[in-house]
Each structure stands twice: as structure tokens, then as C-alpha cells.
Homo-oligomer: A and B are copies of this chain.
Amino acid sequence: MEQWWREGIPLVAAMDARIEKLDDRELIVCAPLAPNRNHMATAFGGSLLALATLTGWGIAKLLAGETATHVVIQRSQMKFLRPVNGQLRARCRWPDDKERKRFDKSLARKNRARIDLEITLFSDTTKAAEFSGRFAALRDTGYG
């Protein structure tokens, strides 16, 4: 997925965002401070928003599964809690089984499904921001 991001989204390469961890519990995407800094040598808010968007999109895309399913972000909220002066890290946990079943069922029946995901941002290991995003998966049925 990381390679696919870098090829398809130039900003991912500019941010030097990388997958630090992907297991059955969570996805963690990290990026070094240098290419994401602002004038105060802390992380640019736009970089934190982009990293959170990417991380949530990653989980939603993995949930949706097939390559013929587009995943788009529909809305987001962010609370910036403290400046990030270390490595940028964004963590998204998998939704619970109930949520995943609801998502799968909707995608199978209606060729579309929505999921709300919570992404936590860290400065190294210190919590720095909270992001909520709503993502929609749309299966390309070939019928327009």
C-alpha cells in the first residue's frame, strides 16, 4: 500500500510518509518532521491533517478490499492539542466486528458503505491531536 500511495499521491512522497505498523489491531503511519515543519519548527497543521486523512483512508480502503472500490473522504474534524516537535505519527485502529459487519453488508447490498474512523496523532509517542473522519466506499459496478 505504501508503494501505491507514493506512486498515486505525490504529496505522500513529499511528506515522506511511511507505514510504521499494520497488524490486526491498527495502522500507524509516520513522517519525519523536516519535510512537514512550519516556521516554528513544529509540524505544519496541514501536514497533520494530510497524514490523518491518509491513515483513515488506508483503513477504509483495506476494509473495502477490492481494487474496483473507490474510497473517498466525506467530512472530517480535527482538534489540535499540542505542537508536534518530533516525528509525526497517526494511528487508526480497526473498527469493531459489529461496525465491520455493517460496513460489509452495506457494500454488498448497496455497492456503497460509510464508516466513521478515529485517528490519533502523536508527536513521537505523545498524543498531539484527534481526528475524526467519515469515509465512503463506492463499488464500481460498471453500470455508471
Contact = CB atoms under 8 A, between A and B. Distances in A.
Interface of A: 4, 8-11, 14-15, 34-40, 44-47, 49-51, 53-54, 57, 70, 72-80, 83
A9 B39 contact: yes
Contacts of A51: 46
A40 B9 contact: no
A37 B9 contact: yes
A6 B54 CA distance: 23
A73 to B, nearest CB: 4
A10 B39 contact: no
A116 to B, nearest CB: 14
Contact of A10 (B9, B35, B49, B78): B35
Contact of A15 (B11, B57, B79): B11
Nearest to A13: B14
30 contacts: A4-B39, A8-B37, A8-B38, A9-B37, A9-B38, A9-B39, A9-B44, A10-B14, A10-B34, A10-B35, A10-B37, A11-B15, A11-B36, A11-B46, A14-B15, A14-B35, A44-B53, A45-B53, A45-B57, A45-B73, A46-B51, A46-B54, A47-B50, A49-B49, A49-B50, A49-B76, A73-B80, A75-B77, A75-B79, A77-B77
Nearest to A70: B40
